[in-house]
Amino acid sequence: MPSRDNIHVIVARYLRDNAYDATLEAFKGELGIEDDMIPSDHSMTLESIIEQKRLYDLAMGIQEMEIKPEPKDAWAIPAPNFKSLLPEQMANILFVKVANLSMPTSIDDPAAGNSVRPCILVTEADRSLRIFDFYTFDLLKVYLHIHSSPILMLEVLDESNIMTGGMDGRLVISTPSTGEVTVELKDHFKYLVKIAISKDHKYVATAGYDKKVHVYSLEKPESGPIVLSKIGTLTFPTNPEAAIFVYADGEDGATTTKLVVSRRDSTFLYYYKLQPNLVEFARHNLNPESNSWVSFCAMDLVLDPTEHKYLGAVTSTVPHMRFMLLESGNDTILKNAFTRAPQDAYSTSRVTWRPQGSGIWCNGDDGLIRGIEVSTGAVTAELRHHEGKVKALYSGMVDGKEVVVTGGFDKTIAVWEIDQR
């Protein structure tokens, strides 16, 4: 059967959907196309292709017209580009993160004390969580018991507590040095695909493919396990894809925390107040021209690391991902950039900020990691290693140095640094 992006299939679907029946029959006869070869999937249509081309031309024109950015706004140099590979044989990589953890000082001595040091956390399709020393790449721990299925999301609360979400729908808090599970919730009955934690660690939100988002308050007592208390639940007509906490300063000078959610088949971002009740108070359209044939959603959302007021979003658009920059709480799109990252309707789009805020990194189905300068929207750097889809992506600082860590379905982990090891 022809692929859904086959040009003949796209034309046939256009003829069928617009009731050009006689032309359609002649077209099918000329090419030998059967009715069951024309899918109902509308993620790629003639209209959407034309719209993508129009937006691409517009973006290129804007880039050519833009004044050269100030040095502080330009893509920061140097950027990570020296590659090292973790030596361990692995399964498909689902998630990576770097964080300071309290881990045993000796791999071989169970009674050894702990020390806090940077570690690479990796989750894989075999449901394992692996923890590596960042500098030596030594495998410190392997856990298979934390979830009964692969772990899709991982966040670090502090050096002794990590939070994971899995395909089993469970939200788990565990101790990285021992693997002890201290908190376990089963509020989702399908995949838990997103965990968001507020910067003050007072709120947690989880998004699942049961079309629900749960929001909790988080308390960390002086003794005993962390306590999660549910504030409320949001139910959507389609699966949520991204969730993030954003912040606004009130007239009294106090900072309020709000939740932003995106969902499949919707170009809107949905804003929610947390107190006194979990309630929607605004929605902002990422497709302000409201072209009904252009259907996409924000697949990943990240808040800028310096001012915490700009939202970066990557979209589900096919055949190429788009990056959008907007001011949190405002529906004005500041940048609408074509990343050139190929993807399809089943891709997992990921984006992460560079620590100084000069750019973002995004993944792609061709194995490339692309760096985009935020001030211009131009693709400025490419990290080449992986074969095939890259699903895991991290960017941050380790001991004052910028690093990027990537993992793909080629079963490898690459660590990108500014200096050669």
Residue 56, pLDDT above cutoff 60: no
Question: Is pLDDT at 169 greater than 70 in this prediction?
Answer: yes
- The pLDDT score that the predictor gives to residue 213 is 98
Whether 66 shows a pLDDT value over 50: the answer reads: no
pLDDT band at 11 (very low <50, low <70, confident <90, very high): confident
- Higher pLDDT, residue 41 or 17: 17
The four Cα atoms 114, 116, 117, 118 give a dihedral, to 10 degrees, of: 120
Mean pLDDT of 105-127: 87
Residue 292: predicted pLDDT: 56
- Higher-pLDDT residue of 299, 66: 299
Domain boundaries, the chain: 7-65, 71-417
Q: Does pLDDT of 67 surpass 60?
A: no
pLDDT band at 89 (very low <50, low <70, confident <90, very high): confident
Phi-psi region of 176 (alpha: psi -120 to 50; beta: other; left: phi over 0): alpha
The per-residue pLDDT for 65 is: 40
Contact 332, 309 (CB under 8 A): no
In this model, does residue 70 exceed pLDDT 60? no
Q: What is the band of 30 on the pLDDT scale with cuts at 50, 70, 90?
A: confident
Strands 212-219 and 310-315: unpaired
Q: Long-range contacts of range 196-200, CB-CB < 8 Å, 24 or more positions apart?
A: 196/243, 196/244, 196/245, 196/259, 197/155, 197/157, 197/163, 197/245, 198/245, 198/257, 199/245, 199/247, 199/308, 200/257
**Which region among 100-109, 350-359, 408-417 has the lowest average model confidence (pLDDT)?**
100-109
| CATH class of the domain at 71-417 | mainly beta
For residue 108 the two structure tokens come to: 């071989």
CA–CA separation, 333 vs 284, rounded Å?
10
How much is the average pLDDT of 170-187? 97
Locate 281 and state its tokens.
């108070």
Does the pLDDT value for residue 62 go beyond 90?
A: no
262-284 CB burial, b ≥16 within 10 A, e <16: bbbebbbbbbbebeeebeeeeeb
- What integer pLDDT is reported at residue 4 of this predicted model? 53
**110 CB burial (10 A radius; 0-12, 13-18, 19+):** exposed
Q: What is the pLDDT of residue 342?
A: 95
What is the pLDDT at residue 43? 55
Contact (CB, 8 A) for 165 and 152: yes
319 preceded by cis ω (within 30°)? yes
> Where does the pLDDT of residue 64 fall: very low under 50, low under 70, confident under 90, or very high at 90 and above?
very low
Q: Which residues of 29-53 are buried (b: 16+ CB within 10 A; e: fewer)?
A: eeeebeeebbeeeebbbbebbebbe
Of 113-122, 203-212, 323-332, 342-351, minimum mean pLDDT range: 323-332
Q: With H, G, I as helix, E, B as strand and everything else as coil, classify residue 212.
A: strand
Quickly count: other Cβ atoms within 10 Å of residue 72's Cβ.
Answer: 10
Rounded to a whole number of angstroms, the CA Rg of the chain reads 23
- Mean pLDDT of the residues in the chain: 88
